[in-house]
Amino acid sequence: MAVPLFATTLEPHMPAIAERLAAVARGGRYILGPEVEAFEAELAEQLGVRHAIGVANGTDALAIALRALGVEPGDEVVCPSFTFYATVEATASIGAIPVYCDVDPETMCVTAETVRAAITPRTKAIVAVHLFGNVAPVPELRELGLPVLEDAAQATGARLGDVRAGALGDAATFSFFPSKNLPCLGDGGAVTTDDDAVAQRVRRLRFHGSDDKKTFVEVGYNSRLDELQAAVLRLLLPELDGWNAARRAAADRYAAGGLGDHVALPAPVAGAEHVHHLYVVRSDRADELAAALAAQGIGARGYYRTPIHLQPATAGFAPAGLELPGTELAARTHLALPMGPELTAAQVDETVAAVAAALG
């Protein structure tokens, strides 16, 4: 039996989605209308934040949120190197200088220690990436005394203690790219914050730097969440917690099935409720394991083999001789195994058996 890397489907929701899309299409409001406004209120309510602002994608969300937090060209922003490229790309796109910090190779998230090592007098903000659905230790990062932006693109719905990702930092960003935990049918994103002034600046920046569509007070972006995507997101938001619970149940079955005898299992940050956007294990034989699983039709993939401080576009931000041992270890050993709300017990068991056979 083939086991897909992404075990998700929107099929049961397609009739309702088609109906809502047709209604919005006929309604004639496509940009910043009632669907976006209602989704923003519903997302804010579910995450426990004062403001959620829809934008075009998770990359724009990062650039806009950093600017709204006061980051200006030439300012330094501490970012992990072990993340999706967009975290660093968005930082560089506003003229800020990404300063790479290391990650804990077990949680694959930044820590107060790794961030502190990258702070200088020019540091203006910290980007904490909730990688793979884990939740970075934001309360400890805030004690460092700088604004903390959560990159929650991979962690929609996750919690640290009782607090949702998105309500932990000074602001947070989300992506609704089709493979993320809360998907739409294309690109979409959001910024969340409890700060009224930050929220107002995000709303201005997403609309060409204008509050009233007549006076343009700063150079901004055309970066709105579409009404059509917001309508889809309103239908799917009520499914999010159930989907994340199903991901966690699959992770529990991997562990109970003995997967940890063969590879290192995902390690939640202390107090985190991991939502397993990707189910990422670690092995010194990661590539060999991926090939063995592929030969049996089981999806497996290393996502960030080359971390961002070694990528052609962004290596120039790394000082000569930069050593990030946690990043290098995670980059070399991580491997995503099949995950998703639709992953069956039989598929988990088959994957565990295939891993055992490949490494045994």
Interface residues toward ligand PLP, by CB under 6 A? 57-59, 83-84, 86-87, 129, 151, 153-154, 175, 177, 187, 189
The least distance separating ligand PLP from the CB of residue 138, rounded to whole angstroms, comes to 15
Closer to ligand PLP by Cβ: residue 180 or 262: 180
The least distance separating ligand PLP from the CB of residue 189, rounded to whole angstroms, comes to 5
The least distance separating ligand PLP from the CB of residue 28, rounded to whole angstroms, comes to 27
Closer to ligand PLP by Cβ: residue 340 or 354: 340
The least distance separating ligand PLP from the CB of residue 91, rounded to whole angstroms, comes to 11
- Closest residue (Cβ) to ligand PLP? 58
Closer to ligand PLP by Cβ: residue 189 or 299: 189
Q: Are strands 171-175 and 163-164 parallel, antiparallel or unpaired?
A: unpaired
Closer to ligand PLP by Cβ: residue 184 or 263: 184
Closer to ligand PLP by Cβ: residue 114 or 154: 154
Hey, how many other C-beta atoms are within 10 angstroms of the C-beta on 264?
16
Hey, how many other C-beta atoms are within 10 angstroms of the C-beta on 336?
21
CA nearest 110: which of 314, 269, 303, 276?
269
Q: Determine if residue 343 is left, alpha or beta; phi over 0 gives left, psi from -120 to 50 gives alpha, anything else beta.
A: beta
In whole angstroms, give the CA distance from residue 47 to residue 25.
28
Cα 117 to Cα 86, 112, 125, distances in angstroms: 22, 9, 14
Instruction: Report H helices in 98-226.
Output: 112-116, 138-142, 196-206
Closer to ligand PLP by Cβ: residue 233 or 348: 233
| Sheet containing strand 123-129, strands side by side | 51-55, 189-193, 171-175, 148-151, 123-129, 76-80, 97-101
Strands (E), 221-294: 272-273, 279-282
Side-chain half-sphere of 52: how many Cα atoms within 13 Å?
A: 28
The least distance separating ligand PLP from the CB of residue 179, rounded to whole angstroms, comes to 8
Closer to ligand PLP by Cβ: residue 84 or 207: 84
Closer to ligand PLP by Cβ: residue 166 or 189: 189
Residue 196 burial (C-beta neighbours within 10 Å; 0-12, 13-18, 19+):
exposed
Closer to ligand PLP by Cβ: residue 61 or 318: 61
Secondary structure (3-state) at 301: strand
Closer to ligand PLP by Cβ: residue 87 or 229: 87
The least distance separating ligand PLP from the CB of residue 22, rounded to whole angstroms, comes to 25
The least distance separating ligand PLP from the CB of residue 32, rounded to whole angstroms, comes to 19
The least distance separating ligand PLP from the CB of residue 260, rounded to whole angstroms, comes to 25
Q: Determine if residue 290 is left, alpha or beta; phi over 0 gives left, psi from -120 to 50 gives alpha, anything else beta.
A: alpha
The least distance separating ligand PLP from the CB of residue 151, rounded to whole angstroms, comes to 5
Secondary structure (3-state) at 189: strand
The least distance separating ligand PLP from the CB of residue 207, rounded to whole angstroms, comes to 19
CA nearest 151: which of 57, 256, 43?
57
CA dihedral 54, 154, 89, 299 (to 10 degrees): -130
Distance between alpha carbon 155 and the CA centroid of its chain, in Å? 5
